[in-house]
Structure 1
Amino acid sequence: MSRIFISGSSTGLGLMAAELLVSEGHQVVLHARNSDRAKDARKALPAAEAIVAGDVATIAGAKEVAAQVNTLGTFDAVIHNAAVGYREAHRLTADGLPHVFAINTLSAYILTALIERPKRLVYLSSGMHHHADANLDDILWKKRRWNGSEAYAESKLHDAMLTFAVARRWPGVFSNSLEPGWVPTRMGGPGAPDDMDQAHLTQAWLAASDDPKADVTGQYFFHMKRREPNPQALDPRLQDQLIEICAGISGVALPKA
């Protein structure tokens, strides 16, 4: 039995993965943006061990979520699921950051750096990342005209880059990424064409399975099969640059191996 924390798991794919893991006998801690969402999550999955409430849109909020998780003890796996979608308008957080970057990229970095290191890390990317550019020279969208779809795609490329950076830096941890498919969640929209019944399986499998195919690191998956990521995600130079940027913005260093 594994103990797993899932960010952004009060609804959608995060909650679906949690339900599956609980049904398999694992202990799961959920995360919700606020107390109202936490109450809804408790109703949706009464068997959850606990629910952490906190808004990862801000640097302070992400740090607080990590602190709450650490007070609950150690985890075998963390699934980085929290995200906003591709139809977002340009909004700045209280820290003055584009909220797509703050939630999809920076919060995943902060939680990775501050949550006590688990045995497995799982990051949700997106099929849209394949055609994105990391745009590390304008990660905060100060030079470009805002495009929500592009912002989302590049944030999901950042998540894949973070995955492989961690796999390279922390050899004792299985760090993998996946794309769940374009599915009809609230984020994906009602017209999304991919199979909803498949969308949550890979992250649960990577977090808790005894399958030797899941006991790997530095890999990218789609429907429990390996897939090649965007080549930029595999570039150590770009990975290190992303880590440096996130550390500088957040004031949080990624621990060394």
Structure 2
Amino acid sequence: MSRIFITGSSAGLGLMAGQLLGEQGHQVVLHARNAARAEETRRELPRAEAVLEGDLETIQGAKDVAQRVNALGRFDAVIHNAAVGYRESHRLTADGLPHLFAINTLSAYVLTALIERPRRLVYLSSGMHHQAQANLDDILWRKRRWNGSTAYAESKLHDAMLAFAIARRWPDVLSNALEPGWVPTKMGGPGAPDDMDQAHRTQAWLAASEDPKARVTGAYFYHLKRRAPNPEAQDPALQDRLLALCAELSGIALPDM
């Protein structure tokens, strides 16, 4: 039995993964943005060990969530599921960062750096990342006109880059990324064409399965099968630049091996 923390798991794929892992006998801790959503989540999955509250929009909020996770003890796996979607408008957080970047990219970095190191890390990317460029010279969209779809695709590329950077830097951790497919969640929209029944299974499998195909690191998956990611995701120089930018913006260094 594994103990697994899932970010952004009050609804959608995060909650579905939590439900599946619970059915498989694993201990699951979920996460919701605020108290009202946390209460709804407890009703949805009463078997969950806990539902932690915290808004990942700000650096301090992400730090607070990491502290609450660590207070519960070490986890076997963390699934970085929290995200906002491609229809996001351009707005800045209290830290002066684009809201989409703050949640989709920076909070995943902060939680990775601060949560006691688990045995496995799982990062949710998107099929949209295949057509994206990292655009690290303008990661905060200060030079370009905002495009929510492009910003989302870039953030999902960043998540894959983060997964592979961790796989390279922390050889004792199995760190992988996946795309769940374009499915009809609240984020995906009602017209999304992919299979909802498959969308949550890969992250649960990577987090807990003893299948040798899941016990790998630095890989990218779609529906339980390996898939080639955007080549930029596997570029060590770009990975290191992303880590350096996130460290500078958050004031939090990624621990060494």
The Cα shift of 1:70 comes to 0.1
Counterpart-to-counterpart distance in 1, 2:254 and 2:30: 24
The Cα shift of 1:227 comes to 0.3
Name the structure 2 match of 1:203. 203
Name the structure 1 match of 2:32. 32
Name the structure 1 match of 2:108. 108
Secondary structure of the structure 1 residue equivalent to 2:196: coil
Name the structure 1 match of 2:9. 9
The Cα shift of 1:133 comes to 0.5
Counterpart-to-counterpart distance in 2, 1:253 and 1:152: 24
Name the structure 2 match of 1:248. 248
Counterpart-to-counterpart distance in 2, 1:187 and 1:157: 17
Task: Give me the CA root mean square deviation.
Answer: 0.3
Counterpart-to-counterpart distance in 1, 2:253 and 2:53: 24
Name the structure 2 match of 1:71. 71
Per the normalisation by structure 1, the TM-score is 1.00
Name the structure 1 match of 2:48. 48
User: Is the counterpart of residue 164 in structure 1 residue 160 in structure 2?
Assistant: no
* CA offset digits 1:137-185 (Å, max 9, x no partner): 0000000000000000000000000000000000000000000000000
Give unmatched runs, 5+ long, in structure 1: none
One-letter identity of the residue aligned with 1:218: G
Aligned structure 1 segments of 4 or more residues deviating by more than 4 angstroms: none
Per the normalisation by structure 2, the TM-score is 1.00
Counterpart-to-counterpart distance in 1, 2:157 and 2:199: 18
One-letter identity of the residue aligned with 2:9: S
Counterpart-to-counterpart distance in 2, 1:96 and 1:190: 32
Name the structure 1 match of 2:217. 217
Counterpart-to-counterpart distance in 1, 2:31 and 2:251: 23
Secondary structure of the structure 2 residue equivalent to 1:197: helix
Secondary structure of the structure 1 residue equivalent to 2:187: coil
Aligned residue runs from structure 1 range 36-185, under 5 A:
36-185=36-185
Counterpart-to-counterpart distance in 2, 1:233 and 1:213: 21
Name the structure 1 match of 2:235. 235
Counterpart-to-counterpart distance in 1, 2:248 and 2:96: 14
The Cα shift of 1:251 comes to 0.4
One-letter identity of the residue aligned with 2:84: V
Counterpart-to-counterpart distance in 2, 1:213 and 1:205: 10
Give unmatched runs, 5+ long, in structure 2: none
Alignment size in residue pairs: 257
The Cα shift of 1:115 comes to 0.2
Secondary structure of the structure 1 residue equivalent to 2:207: helix
The Cα shift of 1:114 comes to 0.2
Name the structure 1 match of 2:187. 187
One-letter identity of the residue aligned with 2:77: A
Counterpart-to-counterpart distance in 1, 2:243 and 2:48: 32
Secondary structure of the structure 1 residue equivalent to 2:176: strand
